């Protein structure tokens, strides 16, 4: 029997159950809605909550959910998880997706942090601005044009707007990859790709250089400012799981274009 692909959700705080629910729904789509029905023969999934280093070690991919990034970092440090998370992302290069607070955790730099700053996992060569849109009372939903959600079989057709939920959301305020001087870890890294932009009035995505960057990818790391897990729209979870399957199938723990 083929070993299942194990996908974990970091369960320190935040939208853990919501992600697990959508992952299970997404898995059904991935396993039954392929252009070739036999393409995923032998593929299966296991979804687990991750609170310890041994649980993380079981995972082939990981989601860091929305919540409160400072709290997550403090709890992760107390549980001895920060260094294993960094190894998972930066050394093993396993697929990782961060939503909202998860995006903050996966950034190399963060601004507007609480006094004293906060520890980050890193992996995305970006600086994020926390709480770009104000308090929780100022939360909103906006339709985003996300080109990566186009179906592979008819990629010329535009995907329907994704109704993105923004709650005290961060945004990517700067891509810093080109300015890295480390000469080591950064050498040969994949570029940061802008996958989603919130254009302000009207709530639709613009183009690169217009509006706020709210979805990015760099190699094995994917981040969104918003909360797909708080909707019934399973498309981003399906898209991401397909990248995880591709990485596992080819032994390449790097996300590829849809």
Q: pLDDT tens-digit profile of 73-131?
A: 999 999 999 999 999 999 999 999 999 999 999 999 988 666 556 799 999 999 999 87
| Total domains, the chain | 1
Do residues 63 and 97 make contact, with C-beta atoms less than 8 angstroms apart? Answer: yes
258 in any annotated domain: no
Distance CA 130, CA 122 (A): 15
Is 67 marked as binding a ligand? yes
Asked, for residue 255, whether it belongs to a domain, the answer is no
Active-site residue identified among 18, 59, 229, 237: 229
As a whole number of angstroms, the distance between CA 212 and CA 82 comes to 29
119 is in an annotated binding site: no
256 falls within a domain: no
Q: Tell me, what CATH number does 34's domain have?
A: 3.40.50.880
- Is residue 125 within 8 Å of 218, Cβ to Cβ? yes
The annotation status of 48 as a binding-site residue, yes or no, is no
**Active-site option among 18, 19, 227, 237:** 227
Domain contains 257:
no
The verdict on whether 229 is a catalytic residue reads: yes
Choosing from 18, 19, 59, 100, the catalytic residue is 100
Is 168 one of the annotated binding-site residues? Answer: yes
In a domain, 183, yes or no: yes
Domain that holds residue 93: 5-250
Is 216 within a domain?
Answer: yes
Mind listing the pLDDT tens digit for each residue in 188-240? 678 999 999 998 543 333 334 468 999 999 999 999 999 999 999 999 999 99
pLDDT digits 0-9 by tens, 165-187: 999 899 999 999 654 444 444 45
The verdict on whether 100 is a catalytic residue reads yes
């Amino acid at each position: 029997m083929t070993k299942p692909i194990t996908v974990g959700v970091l369960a320190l705080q935040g939208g853990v159950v919501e992600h697990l629910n959508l992952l299970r729904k997404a898995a059904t789509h991935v396993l039954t809605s392929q252009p070739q029905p036999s393409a995923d023969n032998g593929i299966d999934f296991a979804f687990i909550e991750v609170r310890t280093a041994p649980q993380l070690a079981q995972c082939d991919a990981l989601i860091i959910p929305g919540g409160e990034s400072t709290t997550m970092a403090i709890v992760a440090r107390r549980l001895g998880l920060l260094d294993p998370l960094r190894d998972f992302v930066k050394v093993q290069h396993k697929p990782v997706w961060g939503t909202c607070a998860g995006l903050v955790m996966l950034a190399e730099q963060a601004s507007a942090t609480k006094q004293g700053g906060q520890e980050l996992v890193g992996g995305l060569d970006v600086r994020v601005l926390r709480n770009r849109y104000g308090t929780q009372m100022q939360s909103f939903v906006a339709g985003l044009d996300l080109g990566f959600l186009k179906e592979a079989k008819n990629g010329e057709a535009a995907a329907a707007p994704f109704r993105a939920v923004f709650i005290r959301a961060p945004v990517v305020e700067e891509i810093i990859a080109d300015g890295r001087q480390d000469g080591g870890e950064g050498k040969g890294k994949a570029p940061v790709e802008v996958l989603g932009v919130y254009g302000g009035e009207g709530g639709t995505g613009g183009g690169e250089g217009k509006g706020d960057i709210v979805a990015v990818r760099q190699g094995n790391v994917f981040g969104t400012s918003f909360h797909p897990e708080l909707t019934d729209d399973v498309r981003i979870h399906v898209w991401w799981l397909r990248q995880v399957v591709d990485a596992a199938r080819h032994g390449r723990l790097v996300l590829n274009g849809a």
